[in-house]
Structure 1
Amino acid sequence: MLLTVSGPPGSGKSTNAEILAERFDLEHISGGDIFRQLADERGYPPVEFNELAEEEEQIDKDLDRRLRTIAATRDDVLLESRLAGWLAAENADLRFWLDAPLSVRAERIAEREDKTVPEARATTERREQSEAKRYADLYDIDIHDLSIYDAAINTARWSEDVVPDMLTAAVERYDPAEDEGKHPVEGVRYEF
Structure 2
Amino acid sequence: MLITVSGPPGSGKSTNAAGLADRLGLDHVSGGDIFREMAAERDMTPVEFNEFAEEDPQIDRDLDRRLHEIATTRDDLVLESRLAGWLSADHADFRFWFDAPVSTRAERIAEREEKPVDRAKAETERREASEKKRYREYYDIDIGDLSIYDAAYNTARWGPERFIDVLVATIDAYDPATDEGKAPIEGVSYDF
Query: What TM-score comes out, normalization by structure 2 length?
Result: 0.91
**Matches for 1:148-167 after TM superposition, within 5 Å:** 148-167=148-167
In the alignment of these two chains, the number of paired residues is 190
Kindly report the root-mean-square deviation, in angstroms, between the aligned alpha carbons of the 2 structures.
Answer: 1.8
SS at match of 2:160: coil
Q: Is it true that 1:134 corresponds to 2:107 in the alignment? A: no
Partner of 1:5: 5
Give the letter for the 1:61 counterpart. R
Query: What SS does the aligned partner of 1:104 have?
Result: helix
Matching residue of 2:112: 112
CA deviations on 1:3-40 (whole Å, 9 max, x unpaired) are 00111111111100001001111110010122234445
Quote the offset at 1:184 in angstroms: 0.6
- The DSSP-based 3-state class of the residue aligned with 1:10 is coil
Identity across aligned pairs (percent)?
A: 64
* CA–CA separation in structure 2 for the residues paired with 1:25 and 1:49: 33
The residue aligned with 2:44 is 45
**SS of residue in 1 equivalent to 2:78:** strand
Give the structure 2 partner of residue 54 of structure 1. Answer: 54
**8 A contact 2:140–2:187 mirrored in 1:** no
- The code of the aligned residue for 1:88 comes to S
Q: Secondary structure at the match of 1:28?
A: strand
CA distance in 2, matches of 1:18, 1:168: 13
| Partner secondary structure for residue 29 of structure 1 | strand
SS of the residue corresponding to residue 98 of structure 1 reads: strand
Please name the residue that 1:36 is paired with. Answer: 36
How far the C-alpha of 1:187 sits from its partner, in A, is 5.6
Paired AA for residue 150 in structure 2: D
**Residues 176, 58 of structure 1: alpha-carbon distance in 2 compared, 3 angstrom cutoff:** farther
Query: Is residue 97 of structure 2 the alignment partner of residue 97 of structure 1?
Result: yes
Gaps spanning 5+ residues in structure 2: where? none
Any stretches of 5+ residues in structure 1 without a counterpart?
Answer: none
User: What is the letter of the counterpart of residue 7 of structure 1?
Assistant: G
Kindly tell me: are residues 188 and 20 of structure 1, through their superposed partners in 2, closer, same or farther at Cα, counting changes over 3 Å? farther
Instruction: Judge conservation of contact 2:104–2:156 (CA < 8 Å) in 1.
Output: yes
Separation in 1 of the partners of 2:175 and 2:189?
26
